[in-house]
Amino acid sequence: MSRRSGAGRDRGESPAQRLIAGITRSGMRLMLRPVLRAGLPVEQQRRRLARVGRLTPTPRGVEYRAAFCGSVPGESVTVRDAPPAGCAILYLHGGGYCVGSPASHRVITGHLASRCAARVFAAAYRLAPEEPFPGAVDDAVAAYRGLLADGVAPSQIAIAGDSAGGGLAVATALRLRQLGWPQPAALVLFSPWVDLGLGALQPPSSGEVTLTKPWLEECARVYLAGHPADDPLASPIAADLRGLPPTLIQVGADELLLTDSRRMHAALVAAGVEAELQEYPRRWHVFQLNAGLLADANRALDAAGEFVRSRTPAATVAR
Protein backbone atom coordinates (compact mmCIF):
# COMPACT_ATOMS: atom_id res chain seq x y z
CA MET A 1 0.00 0.00 0.00
CA SER A 2 1.24 3.47 -0.83
CA ARG A 3 -0.04 6.77 0.43
CA ARG A 4 1.37 10.16 -0.44
CA SER A 5 -0.18 13.19 1.17
CA GLY A 6 0.43 16.90 1.25
CA ALA A 7 -0.01 17.19 4.99
CA GLY A 8 -1.51 20.52 5.91
CA ARG A 9 -1.83 21.62 2.28
CA ASP A 10 -5.55 22.31 2.55
CA ARG A 11 -5.43 23.44 6.15
CA GLY A 12 -5.50 27.20 6.57
CA GLU A 13 -2.70 28.58 8.70
CA SER A 14 -3.75 31.16 11.26
CA PRO A 15 -2.07 34.57 11.34
CA ALA A 16 -0.60 33.67 14.72
CA GLN A 17 0.93 30.48 13.34
CA ARG A 18 2.31 32.31 10.31
CA LEU A 19 4.02 34.71 12.70
CA ILE A 20 5.31 31.89 14.89
CA ALA A 21 6.58 30.00 11.85
CA GLY A 22 8.40 33.07 10.55
CA ILE A 23 10.04 33.78 13.89
CA THR A 24 10.94 30.12 14.36
CA ARG A 25 12.43 29.86 10.88
CA SER A 26 14.59 32.93 11.48
CA GLY A 27 15.66 31.70 14.89
CA MET A 28 16.61 28.26 13.58
CA ARG A 29 18.64 29.82 10.78
CA LEU A 30 20.51 32.10 13.20
CA MET A 31 21.23 29.25 15.63
CA LEU A 32 22.06 26.38 13.28
CA ARG A 33 23.63 27.76 10.11
CA PRO A 34 26.76 28.97 11.98
CA VAL A 35 26.98 25.57 13.71
CA LEU A 36 26.48 23.14 10.82
CA ARG A 37 29.09 24.73 8.63
CA ALA A 38 31.66 23.13 6.34
CA GLY A 39 35.19 23.83 7.49
CA LEU A 40 34.28 24.30 11.16
CA PRO A 41 36.07 21.64 13.24
CA VAL A 42 33.68 18.89 14.28
CA GLU A 43 34.49 19.36 17.97
CA GLN A 44 33.29 22.97 17.75
CA GLN A 45 30.15 21.90 15.88
CA ARG A 46 29.35 19.40 18.62
CA ARG A 47 29.87 21.87 21.45
CA ARG A 48 27.79 24.57 19.78
CA LEU A 49 24.99 22.16 18.91
CA ALA A 50 24.91 20.96 22.52
CA ARG A 51 24.43 24.56 23.66
CA VAL A 52 21.57 25.03 21.19
CA GLY A 53 19.97 21.83 22.46
CA ARG A 54 20.03 23.08 26.05
CA LEU A 55 17.99 26.12 24.98
CA THR A 56 15.18 23.99 23.56
CA PRO A 57 12.25 23.29 25.93
CA THR A 58 11.34 19.63 26.30
CA PRO A 59 7.79 18.32 26.83
CA ARG A 60 6.43 18.22 30.34
CA GLY A 61 6.10 14.99 32.25
CA VAL A 62 8.88 13.21 30.40
CA GLU A 63 11.96 11.73 32.06
CA TYR A 64 15.36 11.35 30.40
CA ARG A 65 17.80 8.93 32.01
CA ALA A 66 21.23 7.76 30.93
CA ALA A 67 20.99 4.10 29.97
CA PHE A 68 22.48 1.29 27.94
CA CYS A 69 20.66 -0.90 25.45
CA GLY A 70 22.84 -3.90 24.98
CA SER A 71 26.34 -2.46 24.74
CA VAL A 72 25.18 0.89 23.33
CA PRO A 73 24.95 3.99 25.55
CA GLY A 74 22.16 6.49 25.19
CA GLU A 75 19.05 7.83 26.90
CA SER A 76 15.91 6.08 28.07
CA VAL A 77 12.93 8.41 27.55
CA THR A 78 9.68 7.64 29.37
CA VAL A 79 6.50 9.41 30.44
CA ARG A 80 6.52 10.10 34.17
CA ASP A 81 3.87 8.25 36.24
CA ALA A 82 2.52 6.48 33.15
CA PRO A 83 1.59 2.79 32.89
CA PRO A 84 4.32 0.51 31.55
CA ALA A 85 4.97 1.31 27.90
CA GLY A 86 3.33 -0.98 25.40
CA CYS A 87 6.00 -0.57 22.75
CA ALA A 88 9.59 0.54 22.34
CA ILE A 89 11.11 2.98 19.88
CA LEU A 90 14.77 2.93 18.95
CA TYR A 91 15.57 6.54 18.03
CA LEU A 92 18.56 7.46 15.87
CA HIS A 93 19.40 11.17 15.92
CA GLY A 94 20.49 13.26 12.97
CA GLY A 95 23.67 15.27 12.54
CA GLY A 96 25.34 14.04 9.37
CA TYR A 97 26.87 11.06 11.22
CA CYS A 98 29.34 13.54 12.75
CA VAL A 99 27.43 15.62 15.32
CA GLY A 100 24.32 15.41 17.48
CA SER A 101 23.36 13.29 20.46
CA PRO A 102 20.31 12.01 22.31
CA ALA A 103 20.31 15.28 24.27
CA SER A 104 20.13 17.42 21.12
CA HIS A 105 16.94 15.62 20.04
CA ARG A 106 15.02 15.44 23.33
CA VAL A 107 12.12 17.43 21.91
CA ILE A 108 11.38 14.68 19.38
CA THR A 109 12.09 11.72 21.65
CA GLY A 110 10.01 13.19 24.46
CA HIS A 111 7.01 13.83 22.23
CA LEU A 112 7.30 10.37 20.69
CA ALA A 113 7.35 8.76 24.14
CA SER A 114 4.14 10.62 25.02
CA ARG A 115 2.29 10.22 21.74
CA CYS A 116 3.22 6.58 21.22
CA ALA A 117 2.88 5.42 24.84
CA ALA A 118 6.38 4.11 24.27
CA ARG A 119 9.66 3.63 25.96
CA VAL A 120 12.13 5.42 23.69
CA PHE A 121 15.79 4.52 23.63
CA ALA A 122 17.82 7.25 21.94
CA ALA A 123 21.10 5.67 20.93
CA ALA A 124 24.38 7.54 21.32
CA TYR A 125 25.85 5.72 18.36
CA ARG A 126 29.49 6.31 17.45
CA LEU A 127 30.22 9.31 15.26
CA ALA A 128 32.72 10.10 12.51
CA PRO A 129 35.51 10.96 12.08
CA GLU A 130 36.48 8.92 15.15
CA GLU A 131 34.28 6.00 14.05
CA PRO A 132 33.45 6.08 10.34
CA PHE A 133 31.11 3.75 8.42
CA PRO A 134 29.87 1.19 9.42
CA GLY A 135 30.23 2.06 13.11
CA ALA A 136 26.85 3.78 13.31
CA VAL A 137 25.11 0.81 11.64
CA ASP A 138 26.79 -1.66 13.98
CA ASP A 139 25.70 0.33 17.03
CA ALA A 140 22.10 0.70 15.84
CA VAL A 141 21.86 -3.04 15.22
CA ALA A 142 23.38 -3.75 18.65
CA ALA A 143 20.83 -1.43 20.30
CA TYR A 144 17.95 -3.17 18.51
CA ARG A 145 19.24 -6.55 19.62
CA GLY A 146 19.49 -5.12 23.13
CA LEU A 147 15.76 -4.36 23.05
CA LEU A 148 15.08 -7.95 22.00
CA ALA A 149 17.29 -9.22 24.82
CA ASP A 150 15.24 -7.09 27.23
CA GLY A 151 12.17 -9.06 26.21
CA VAL A 152 10.58 -6.62 23.76
CA ALA A 153 8.99 -8.45 20.83
CA PRO A 154 9.86 -7.25 17.31
CA SER A 155 6.15 -6.59 16.77
CA GLN A 156 6.37 -3.97 19.53
CA ILE A 157 9.44 -2.12 18.23
CA ALA A 158 9.63 0.82 15.85
CA ILE A 159 12.85 2.37 14.61
CA ALA A 160 12.73 6.11 14.05
CA GLY A 161 15.27 8.71 13.07
CA ASP A 162 15.79 12.08 11.48
CA SER A 163 18.13 13.21 8.70
CA ALA A 164 21.22 10.96 8.86
CA GLY A 165 19.40 9.03 11.59
CA GLY A 166 16.54 8.45 9.16
CA GLY A 167 18.91 6.92 6.64
CA LEU A 168 20.49 4.94 9.47
CA ALA A 169 17.08 3.58 10.46
CA VAL A 170 16.63 2.12 6.98
CA ALA A 171 20.21 0.82 6.98
CA THR A 172 19.55 -0.87 10.32
CA ALA A 173 16.54 -2.69 8.92
CA LEU A 174 18.60 -3.76 5.91
CA ARG A 175 21.42 -5.06 8.11
CA LEU A 176 18.95 -6.96 10.31
CA ARG A 177 17.60 -8.60 7.15
CA GLN A 178 21.14 -9.59 6.13
CA LEU A 179 21.75 -11.13 9.55
CA GLY A 180 18.45 -13.01 9.57
CA TRP A 181 17.06 -11.10 12.55
CA PRO A 182 13.35 -10.16 12.69
CA GLN A 183 12.27 -6.81 11.37
CA PRO A 184 10.71 -4.15 13.61
CA ALA A 185 7.02 -3.38 13.28
CA ALA A 186 7.56 0.03 11.67
CA LEU A 187 10.03 2.66 10.49
CA VAL A 188 9.45 6.40 11.00
CA LEU A 189 11.72 8.69 9.01
CA PHE A 190 11.89 12.45 9.47
CA SER A 191 13.62 14.11 6.48
CA PRO A 192 15.86 11.07 5.89
CA TRP A 193 19.27 11.41 4.24
CA VAL A 194 19.42 8.27 2.10
CA ASP A 195 21.89 9.18 -0.67
CA LEU A 196 25.39 10.05 0.56
CA GLY A 197 26.43 10.49 -3.04
CA LEU A 198 24.16 13.58 -3.08
CA GLY A 199 23.00 12.57 -6.52
CA ALA A 200 19.64 14.36 -6.55
CA LEU A 201 19.48 17.14 -4.00
CA GLN A 202 16.59 19.55 -4.14
CA PRO A 203 17.75 22.97 -5.44
CA PRO A 204 18.53 25.24 -2.47
CA SER A 205 15.53 27.15 -1.13
CA SER A 206 15.46 30.31 0.94
CA GLY A 207 13.17 28.36 3.26
CA GLU A 208 15.88 25.85 4.21
CA VAL A 209 17.27 26.93 7.57
CA THR A 210 19.69 24.14 8.46
CA LEU A 211 21.44 22.32 5.66
CA THR A 212 23.91 23.34 2.98
CA LYS A 213 25.39 21.16 0.27
CA PRO A 214 29.02 21.85 1.34
CA TRP A 215 28.26 20.66 4.88
CA LEU A 216 26.55 17.49 3.62
CA GLU A 217 29.47 16.81 1.29
CA GLU A 218 31.92 17.16 4.16
CA CYS A 219 29.89 14.89 6.44
CA ALA A 220 29.58 12.24 3.74
CA ARG A 221 33.32 12.33 3.05
CA VAL A 222 34.21 12.02 6.74
CA TYR A 223 31.70 9.26 7.48
CA LEU A 224 32.50 7.20 4.39
CA ALA A 225 36.27 7.57 4.87
CA GLY A 226 36.93 6.28 1.36
CA HIS A 227 34.11 3.71 1.37
CA PRO A 228 31.87 3.78 -1.72
CA ALA A 229 28.85 6.05 -1.29
CA ASP A 230 26.62 3.56 -3.11
CA ASP A 231 26.97 0.88 -0.43
CA PRO A 232 23.32 0.18 0.49
CA LEU A 233 24.13 0.39 4.21
CA ALA A 234 25.46 3.91 3.66
CA SER A 235 22.98 5.04 1.01
CA PRO A 236 19.79 2.96 1.41
CA ILE A 237 18.33 4.44 -1.77
CA ALA A 238 20.67 1.99 -3.55
CA ALA A 239 19.34 -1.04 -1.67
CA ASP A 240 16.92 -3.83 -2.46
CA LEU A 241 14.17 -2.70 -0.09
CA ARG A 242 11.91 -5.74 -0.33
CA GLY A 243 10.63 -7.06 2.98
CA LEU A 244 11.15 -3.88 4.99
CA PRO A 245 8.52 -2.85 7.55
CA PRO A 246 5.71 -0.34 7.00
CA THR A 247 7.35 3.08 6.73
CA LEU A 248 6.22 6.63 7.37
CA ILE A 249 8.26 9.46 5.86
CA GLN A 250 7.73 13.10 6.79
CA VAL A 251 9.51 15.98 5.07
CA GLY A 252 9.29 19.74 4.74
CA ALA A 253 8.73 21.10 1.24
CA ASP A 254 11.39 23.81 1.65
CA GLU A 255 14.29 21.58 2.52
CA LEU A 256 17.37 20.40 0.68
CA LEU A 257 16.57 16.72 1.26
CA LEU A 258 13.02 16.81 -0.11
CA THR A 259 14.05 14.76 -3.14
CA ASP A 260 15.65 12.10 -0.92
CA SER A 261 12.30 11.58 0.80
CA ARG A 262 10.40 11.39 -2.47
CA ARG A 263 12.89 8.97 -3.98
CA MET A 264 12.86 6.74 -0.91
CA HIS A 265 9.07 6.64 -0.88
CA ALA A 266 8.98 5.71 -4.57
CA ALA A 267 11.63 3.03 -4.07
CA LEU A 268 9.78 1.50 -1.11
CA VAL A 269 6.53 1.40 -3.06
CA ALA A 270 8.30 -0.20 -6.03
CA ALA A 271 9.66 -2.84 -3.65
CA GLY A 272 6.17 -3.66 -2.39
CA VAL A 273 6.64 -2.03 1.02
CA GLU A 274 3.74 -0.26 2.70
CA ALA A 275 4.89 3.35 2.69
CA GLU A 276 3.42 6.77 3.35
CA LEU A 277 4.97 10.12 2.48
CA GLN A 278 3.74 13.27 4.22
CA GLU A 279 4.98 16.59 2.84
CA TYR A 280 4.54 19.77 4.84
CA PRO A 281 4.47 22.98 2.78
CA ARG A 282 6.72 25.86 3.84
CA ARG A 283 8.53 23.75 6.41
CA TRP A 284 12.25 23.22 6.88
CA HIS A 285 14.57 20.33 7.66
CA VAL A 286 13.38 18.33 10.71
CA PHE A 287 10.81 20.95 11.68
CA GLN A 288 9.53 18.39 14.22
CA LEU A 289 12.23 19.76 16.54
CA ASN A 290 9.92 22.77 16.99
CA ALA A 291 7.09 20.73 18.53
CA GLY A 292 5.34 22.52 21.35
CA LEU A 293 5.61 25.79 19.43
CA LEU A 294 4.83 25.08 15.79
CA ALA A 295 1.42 23.61 14.99
CA ASP A 296 2.71 21.63 11.99
CA ALA A 297 5.38 20.02 14.18
CA ASN A 298 2.70 18.98 16.65
CA ARG A 299 0.54 17.58 13.83
CA ALA A 300 3.48 15.72 12.36
CA LEU A 301 4.34 14.04 15.65
CA ASP A 302 0.65 13.24 16.24
CA ALA A 303 0.66 11.48 12.85
CA ALA A 304 3.88 9.64 13.73
CA GLY A 305 2.37 8.54 17.01
CA GLU A 306 -0.77 7.27 15.32
CA PHE A 307 1.34 5.39 12.77
CA VAL A 308 3.43 3.67 15.45
CA ARG A 309 0.44 2.81 17.64
CA SER A 310 -1.42 1.30 14.68
CA ARG A 311 1.54 -1.02 13.96
CA THR A 312 2.13 -1.97 17.61
CA PRO A 313 -1.45 -2.73 18.67
CA ALA A 314 -0.68 -3.59 22.28
CA ALA A 315 0.35 0.03 22.90
CA THR A 316 -2.06 2.34 24.69
CA VAL A 317 -1.96 6.10 24.85
CA ALA A 318 -0.20 7.33 28.01
CA ARG A 319 -1.54 10.85 28.24
Separation CA 281–CA 215 (nearest Å): 24
> Chunked in runs of 10, what are the mean pLDDT values of the chain (319 residues)?
54 85 93 95 96 90 97 96 86 98 97 94 98 98 97 97 98 98 98 95 84 96 98 98 98 96 98 98 96 96 96 59
What are the structural domains of the chain? Answer: 2-311 (3.40.50.1820)
**166 to 11, 65, 235, 236: CA distances (angstroms):** 27, 23, 11, 10
**136 to 123, 142, 206, 295, 309: CA distances (angstroms):** 10, 10, 31, 32, 27
Span 76-118, pLDDT tens digits: 999 998 887 779 999 999 999 999 999 999 999 999 999 998 9
Phi (first) and psi of residue 160, to 5 degrees: -130, 155
Separation CA 135–CA 115 (nearest Å): 30
Residue 285 annotated to the active site: yes
Give the active site residue among 218, 255, 276, 279: 255
Most distant CA atoms of the chain, gap in Å: 52
Contact 104, 74 (CB under 8 A): no
Bond preceding residue 154 cis, omega within 30 of 0:
no
Residue 77, H or E segment: strand 72-79
pLDDT at 100: 97
Q: Which residues contact 305 (CB under 8 A, 6 or more apart)?
A: 111, 112, 114, 115, 116
pLDDT at 318: 38
Give residue 117's Cα distance to chain centre.
18
pLDDT at 205: 79
Residue 163 annotated to the active site: yes
Beta sheet of 247-252, edge-to-edge order = 2-5, 275-280, 247-252, 186-190, 157-162, 87-92, 118-123, 72-79, 62-69
Separation CA 165–CA 208 (nearest Å): 19
Separation CA 233–CA 211 (nearest Å): 22
Give the active site residue among 93, 105, 111, 285: 285
pLDDT at 1: 42
pLDDT at 49: 95
Contact 138, 170 (CB under 8 A): no
Separation CA 13–CA 73 (nearest Å): 41
Give the active site residue among 101, 114, 163, 235: 163
